[in-house]
Amino acid sequence: MDIYLRIDIDLMAMFFLGAILFIAYKSLDMQDIINKAYMIVSFIVMLELLFEASSCVINGNTGELSRYISYILHIFLFTTAPILSMSGYYLIRFVVMSDYIINKKKAILLGLPVFISMGFTLLSLKYNYIFYLDADNIYHRGDFFIAFSIITYFYFLLDMIVIIRYRKLFIQQELISLILFILLPTIGGVIQTLFYGPLLMWSATALALVIIYVFLQQSMVHLDDLTGTWTRGSFEYYMNKRLKYHLKKQFGLIYCDLDNFKSINDGYGHYEGDRAIMTATQIIKNSLRKNDIIARMGGDEFVMLVECDSIQRLDDIVVRMKQKFNTYNKVSGKDYRLDCSFGADMLDLSQGTTEQMLHHVDCLMYENKRSKKK
């Protein structure tokens, strides 16, 4: 009974995470790299919970077989812990920047602590660095256990740095979800490290993954199917939250519309029209910074929220977009040109509602479009 009372939290966490994993598999897009990473991490955490509970059950059981099984369980637990925390870092990176590219040199540097901890874990079989089993097959922590824990929590610190750096990309509810995703396993792990006995790290991690599933569900409605940009509803929701919580008063807003898009659709078909929209989207994205926001407002219209503090910088971005469209038209080999009309202005929270701000830059965009026809 005492054993059950110790492992019941692991068993419950494993059950709930398993249920969420099943639901996630049915509801999330498994082609998405973020969703794939989430499923893999969740499955490994379930194994961690199972192995941790099993190690408690077998702890102190005499016999060579029990000793071998205990060693296998603990080696798995200690080798996968830093791997999981590093995987969590990459998961956060992909959540923040869907087009994030893993740099080989940085990946090696980031993975170095993991390889070191894995080496010391395997050496513990002989030298008791991280853990050891006494003559009665009872588990004990080794002299380097705290150092191992620091390596594991190091990646949680990196997670928090990334989220703080890119916090303006998220509405408040999303930001809270991501912070909890980091804090829950960190707090659980620190308590488990400082006070031997309670099993909190992996159960807290399971709870954090349940919270992240809710975030993934919400983020599904953020993206336009064709372009991968935010939808109009998502953008307006974000803007309304920004106005409500007074996030950075001044910002740049750009409204753009593809010129002569109807003639592309009519002359070359809807498939080519879709290709034109996707190409235009990529050109616009390449002109923006990673933390700027682009949303498709419908059809061939887009709006961009740019974090800048002067109209000159905003105008420079518009000029850069026009130059990139001109460069594309020179090399595209298409029988039509891709061009956009733009309306841009610096705005702040005192200039009305989201609808009023969008209407303002929309009017500027149509002024630009009319000027081209004169």
What is the average per-residue pLDDT within 58-82? 92
Q: Which residues contact 16 (CB under 8 A, 6 or more apart)?
A: 206, 210
Are the CB atoms for 131 and 74 separated by under 8 Å? yes
User: Chain-centre distance of CA 127, in angstroms?
Assistant: 39
In this predicted structure, what is the pLDDT of residue 352? 80
Residue 193 has pLDDT above 90, yes or no: no
Cα separation, 374 vs 366, in Å, equals 13
In this predicted structure, what is the pLDDT of residue 91? 83
Q: pTM, whole model, 2 decimals?
A: 0.62
Reduce the DSSP state of residue 330 to 3 states and report it. helix
CA dihedral 346, 350, 356, 357 (to 10 degrees): 20
pLDDT (tens digit, 9 = 90+) per residue, 323-350? 999 999 999 888 899 999 999 999 877 7
Q: For all residues of the chain together, what is the average pLDDT?
A: 87
The domains found in the chain, sorted by start residue, are 2-220 (1.20.1070), 230-373 (3.30.70.270)
Are the CB atoms for 273 and 267 separated by under 8 Å? no
Q: Of the given ranges (46-50, 80-84, 211-215, 327-331), which has the lowest mean pLDDT?
A: 211-215
Q: Of the given ranges (16-20, 103-107, 244-248), which has the lowest mean pLDDT?
A: 244-248
Q: What angle do CA 189, 191, 196 make, to 5 degrees?
A: 100
Place of tokens 């974090």: 307
In this predicted structure, what is the pLDDT of residue 51? 93
Bin 199: left if φ > 0, else alpha if -120 < ψ < 50, else beta. Answer: beta
- For residue 293, give both structure tokens: 């926001």
DSSP summary character for residue 366: H
Greater confidence (123 vs 35) lies with 123
